[in-house]
Copies of this chain bind each other. A is one copy, B any other.
Amino acid sequence: MIAVLEPGCSLKQKAAIVRSIEAEGFRVQVSEHGGRSLVGVVGSGAARMEIQLRAMPGVEEVQPVAPPYPLVSRAGHPQPTRIRIGDVVVGGKQIVVIGGPCSVESREQLLTAAGYVSASGASMLRGGAFKPRTSPYSFQGLGEEGLKLLAEAREKTGLPIVTEVVAPQDVALVARYADVLQIGARNMQNYRLLTEVGQQPKPVLLKRGLMATLQELLLAAEYVVSSGNPRVMLCERGIRTYEKATRNTLDIGAIPWLKERTHLPIVADPSHACGIRTLVTPLALASVAAGADAIIVETHPNPAEALSDKEQALLPEDFRAMMDALRRVAVAVGREVREPRQA
């Protein structure tokens, strides 16, 4: 439920409103839009406060919140959220490209990748140090050692780093190194993990579960935001369908559908969506054409030797060609690919 306050609502009135909500055991989320304050009442059963709030001085109206995800909904927050990471902004006019290997495998592999990713004009570096793997016998990532290599790559290239965190107890560790914490598809409904990343300040890249509905994705983001962290990016990365010609099915329609319903930035991951190298660039272009704010793509200096996802990693030259094509398509839809600042 959201209380819309009068334009002339005094600070004293506002404080009284907030206190009355907290007194009933609900959490309060205040935001400003177009010169007036919106007070979100967060918690199960919030609807019962409607009458009491309507009667309070300074309250203009009380909207029963139709969507069950009031904080991430556009309903109470019409402006798109822009998330700043260093000098990169996700959610504005510029399309942000995030590139890098699936897993951090070695110093050489990572620094080589970071070098050409940066030189090609991408804005952030991705790489997994903690890998959730289907089999207990697969390579599980380098752990903290991988995080250190990512930090070194950032040092060398200036690119902020995006990396996955897989368990609540690792959040503090990963947040020490990463610029953006990624929640992987398998953990989209790991609610303890969502709450944990919601209680620290680093931005979160939340991947859609491969079996999740769009409403479930928005509710997962609501877990993070209602825990205190409003800086969430949603990532469409392909869903599981009956069709097995591609690894997953990129739900391209999810991009404009989400843009209509949430103020959070939308990222597309064409690599996991198809799992086939030659399809990655067409899907990256399609995602930008459909309205994505950022693209996250896997690339490897030598895919044949990759320890994971070797079939879908772009070669260095593929990555450069994709960047060029993305630049043209971005302009065609009234945007532009963000370019690194000149030294």
Is A216 within 8 A of B134, CB to CB? yes
Q: Mark A252-282, 1 if CB is under 8 A from B, else 0.
A: 1111110010000000000001101011001
Q: How far is the CB of A132 from chain B (nearest CB, A)?
A: 5
Interface residues in A274-292 by Cβ distance below 8 A to B read 274, 276, 278-279, 282-283, 285-291
A136 on interface, CB distance cutoff 8 Å: yes
Q: A246 — which chain B residues lie within 8 A by C-beta?
A: 253-254, 257
Q: A173 — which chain B residues lie within 8 A by C-beta?
A: none
Of A174-182, A189-197, A295-303, which stretch is located at the interface?
A189-197
Q: A56 — which chain B residues lie within 8 A by C-beta?
A: none
Copies of this chain in its oligomeric complex: 4
Q: A136 — which chain B residues lie within 8 A by C-beta?
A: 42, 191, 219, 222-223, 226-227
A31 on interface, CB distance cutoff 8 Å: no
Is A211 within 8 A of B210, CB to CB? yes
- Chain A interface (Cβ within 8 Å of chain B)? 42-44, 46, 68-69, 132-139, 166-169, 186-187, 189-192, 209-216, 219, 222-223, 226-227, 239-246, 249-257, 260, 273-274, 276, 278-279, 282-283, 285-291, 325, 328-329, 331-333
